[in-house]
Structure formats: structure tokens, C-alpha cells
Amino acid sequence: AKEPVRVLVTGAAGQIGYALVPMIARGVMLGPDQPVILHMLDIPPAAEALNGVKMELVDAAFPLLKGVVATTDVVEACTGVNIAVMVGGFPRKEGMERKDVMSKNVSIYKSQASALEKHAAANCKVVVVANPANTNALILKEFAPSIPEKNITCLTRLDHNRALGQISERLNVQVSDVKNVIIWGNHSSTQYPDVNHATVKTPAGEKPVRELVKDDAWLNAEFITTVQQRGAAIIKARKLSSALSAASSACDHIHDWVLGTPEGTWVSMGVYSDGSYNVPAGLIYSFPVTCQNGEWKIVQGLGIDEFSRKKLDLTADELSEEKALAYSCLT
Ligand code: NAI
């Protein structure tokens, strides 16, 4: 039998946490033959709710779930974890300045970085979900210098999956037959959902999405804004943010990172830029990646037209500004 993998979920008493922990316990994230031990962290005001989630995990009698740690102590939460899903953060409240929200999250991610660095298992893989996801991940990286930078990522898979969903709805095809969309940049409304390399499996072979949709006006405008603003549309409809799809996409992110992407398929992940595609090095930026043996690699050599170039640069500029703002909170 396999040794259990320890998976940390921060903010586990929140909305995404409530959708995410049962998925992990059912094997959605790491596979149906991989036992897990869940580590759940939240803050003291949520301690009772967190304990309630723990009670439900016990009650659900998941065969793969070999243990549950539910705590408000960051050291206990981080000890020995192999995977860390960082969902906890400080939400923007009405009337708050951007800088104040950033400042709260910078201090959270700074201290959780230190705890992970000191207490997580060697080679722990980290995905940051909490917003501003890219910049929180960057702060985590800066304050956990002994964790390899390739192990620190942020979630843009939800945006990637949303793009797949929009194409599948538009063409009335199975979402599993659509692949290789790309989310470039920030997990924010400046992200660039790019379909220039995306394809659909048809009875006549793989066809480019552009050839099948035959409506560049839609692809270059409405498709992009729909994906960029989908989060806001869900909040408007549900009066709550997207939790089910965020949780599911976080599972996809870790699943593909650990178990690999299928041959000929890439996914989008926020990773530490090495300057690929002339994106400034030193930002956490969403790129197309393939994964093998537990490591991601940025897909190289894709053509970037002028329209795309502008959009790649715009979202990079926003991330550089966020980075500057985050650093200004450190002093
Ligand atoms: P929520 O407010 O329901 O849950 C957040 C939880 O984090 C709360 O239980 C809170 O007590 C906890 N928390 C706050 N500070 C903490 C700390 N220092 N340590 C541990 N836990 C802490 O929010 P929800 O809906 O679950 O969303 C969580 C985050 O995910 C938000 O920042 C949201 O903007 C972000 N998000 C990101 C998406 C993505 O695609 N990257 C998609 C959807 C949401």
C-alpha cells in the first residue's frame, strides 16, 4: 500500500475549503489509490467551524482519508506536508484601499512562507489560490528561499477551465474534446485567455478552434471578457464567489502537476517567470505548461501575434505594479 500524502489546505473553514477537502479525501486530487492525511488551517475566529468540517470528514468515512489535523497553529498545520493549497487570505472589504488588502496578505504569506520553509516536507509543492494569487505566491517564494522556486505556483487553472467551457458551449462539443487554450498573466481581469493554439477533436481529426468558431469578432472580444469577468458573474448570480469550480480546478492543478499532463496537451499554471515569451523574469505569471515526473515546463516556441503581444504585456505590467505595491508593504 502507498504511504499517505499529507495535504495542507489553509482557509479550510471557508467556502472553497468546504468544497475542496472532500474532493481531496475522495482521491480527486491525487488519484483513487493514493491515501491522504488532511491538514486544515484556519484562524481562531473560524476554529469552531473548522472543527465542524473535521466532524463531517469523519462522518463521511472516506476510505482514502487516513487522518485529519484541524488547527489554528501554523506550525502544526505545515509540519510534514507534501502538498500545500493556500486558500486562506484576507478578503477585500468595502471601502478598503488596495494597499491595505495587499498589506494584510503580504504579512499572512510572509509568515506562512517561513512556516512552510521550516516545517514542510522536502520538495513540498505549493499552489496559492487566495487573491491576489500571483503576488501572494511571489511573496511566499521570497520568504521561503530554501523551497525551490519551481515548487511555488498559483492557480489559473480555473480561468483555463472556464475558457475550455466557453469554447465547448459555443461549438456544442464535449469539453473534454477541447484543449490547449492558454491563460497568460495575472489571475485578474487583465488575464489574457488565448485560443490561437487551441484545438477540438472532431470525427475528421483535430481542428483549430479559430477554424471551427469562424467568428474572430467573438473570439477577440466577447469570449475574452466573458472568461476575464466570469468570477464577477458567478458572484452576481450566487451572491457568493465560485467555490465548487475553484476547488475542482485546484485539484486539476495539483493532479496534473504530480501525475503529468497527457501527451500533446498543456495546461495553464502561474509559475515563476524565467523570461520566456519576453515576460519579465521574477514575476509569478500564468504560462502554458506541460508536466512530467512532478515537474512543469513552460511550452516554448508558440507564435505570439501583435494582438496577443499587447495583452501579454498589459497583464505583465499589472503584475509588476502589484509586485511594487507588495514590496512597499514590507518596509
Ligand atoms: P472565504 O472567505 O469563504 O474563506 C477564506 C478562509 O480563509 C476563511 O475561513 C478565513 O477565516 C481564512 N483565513 C483568513 N486568514 C487566514 C490565515 N491567515 N490563515 C489561514 N486561514 C485564513 O473565501 P473563499 O471563497 O473560500 O475564497 C478564498 C480565496 O480564494 C479568496 O482570496 C478568493 O479571492 C480566492 N479565489 C481564488 C480563485 C482562483 O482562481 N485563484 C477563485 C476563487 C476564489
Q: Which of 131, 251, 286 to mutate to test the pocket of ligand 1 (most atoms within 8 A of CB)?
A: 131
Locate 176 and state its grid cell.
473534454
Distance 116 CA to ligand 1 centre (A): 18
Q: Is 124 in the pocket of ligand 1 (CB under 6 A)?
A: no
What is the rounded CA–CA span in Å between residue 64 and residue 5?
10
Distance 266 CA to ligand 1 centre (A): 27
Burial of 281 (0-12, 13-18, 19+ CB in 10 A): exposed
The pLDDT tens digits for 232-283 are 999 999 999 999 999 999 999 999 999 999 999 999 999 999 999 999 999 9
Q: Which of 21, 40, 41, 87 to mutate to test the pocket of ligand 1 (most atoms within 8 A of CB)?
A: 87
pTM, 2 dp? 0.98
> What Cα–Cα distance (Å) separates residue 180 from each residue in 116, 152, 163, 224?
33, 22, 10, 15
Helix/strand/coil for 129: coil
Q: Is 241 in the pocket of ligand 1 (CB under 6 A)?
A: yes
Q: Is 131 in the pocket of ligand 1 (CB under 6 A)?
A: yes
> What Cα–Cα distance (Å) separates residue 18 from each residue in 9, 23, 244, 276?
10, 9, 9, 36
The pLDDT tens digits for 129-181 are 999 999 999 999 999 999 999 999 999 999 999 999 999 999 999 999 999 99
Cell 491576489 maps to which residue?
132
